[in-house]
Chain A
Amino acid sequence: MVKVADLVDKLNASVICGKDDLNQGINFGFASDLMSDVLTLDTDNLLLITGLNNLQTIRTSEMSDISFILFVRDKKVSQEMKDLACENNITLIECGYSMFKACSILCEMGLEPVY
């Protein structure tokens, strides 16, 4: 299990919304820019790692009960995305690292793959 505050620190990342949830622990990570794949997951307590920064990333997470999204490759969250995420208690994190680098750090920290 990885604490949100620790991964934010290790990835040199910024929390865009959901700052109250930083002491929570996350068990699993799933990296994808394809929301169709994300929608097939049954896993709880998951961090979505993605470079897809549009409203459907937030909607997909809302439907899939994903509470934490890490945007990699320096992708920026729009105000619309932030509003929708806040409304649904989803924590958004931005990070400048590539998806590969972010995933390798998260894996070393103990975040587990879904499959």
Chain B
Amino acid sequence: MKFTFFIEGENFSKAGTASSEVKKILKQLNVDPKIIKRTVVSLYEAEVNVVAHAFEGNMNVEIFPDKIVVRIEDKGPGIPDIDKAMEKGFSTATPKVREMGFGAGMGLPNIKKNSDEMNISSKVNVGTKLEIVNYLK
């Protein structure tokens, strides 16, 4: 099964709609609720990151019998120092993002915590690619 969701940069009223759709699909597939929660929390963090920092992005979801693989690619400023971005508490979020309840520098560490595999690559002034893999069994 393959699905693609578009993510609009800076549109906080729509932030979370893609993750919400994935949650509905995983529920319909009777995936263990604990795995659903871990997966959608990491997807939502990633989706909010695209909305907060990028111009636009896509969430590509592939569901296999044993795992879910999600690739989130955005067009945006990119991350100059990924190691720094992975540190808890490091944030470049704007005041607007903080007003929405985010921007505490917890997003990427929380994605790592809630995924079985996480790969991230980024090019400054091009964008960021994030891959999340969670095993369903």
Residues of chain A at the chain B interface (Cβ within 8 Å): 33-40, 52, 54-57, 59-60, 62-65, 80
Contact = CB atoms under 8 A, between A and B. Distances in A.
- 5 closest A-B pairs by CB: A35-B101, A59-B16, A36-B104, A36-B106, A63-B44
Contacts of A62: 16, 20, 23
Interface string B13-53: 10110011001000000000100010011001100100000
Contact of A39 (B15, B23, B44): B44
A40 B102 CA distance: 12
Contacts of B100: 35, 54, 56
B37 A64 contact: yes
A contact face: mostly helix, strand, loop, or mixed? helix
Contact of B16 (A34, A36, A63): A63
B33 A56 contact: no
Contacts of A39: 41, 44-45, 106, 110
28 contacts: A35-B100, A35-B101, A35-B102, A36-B102, A36-B105, A37-B106, A38-B101, A39-B41, A39-B44, A40-B106, A52-B101, A55-B16, A56-B15, A56-B16, A56-B100, A59-B19, A59-B44, A60-B44, A60-B101, A62-B16, A62-B20, A62-B23, A63-B16, A63-B23, A63-B44, A64-B37, A64-B41, A65-B33
Interface residues of B, number: 24
B103 to A, nearest CB: 7
A37 B103 CA distance: 10
B76 interface: no
B101 A54 contact: yes
A52 B37 CA distance: 22
A97 B12 CA distance: 28
B40 to A, nearest CB: 5
Interface in B88-132: 100-107, 110, 113
Contacts of B45: 39
A73 to B, nearest CB: 15
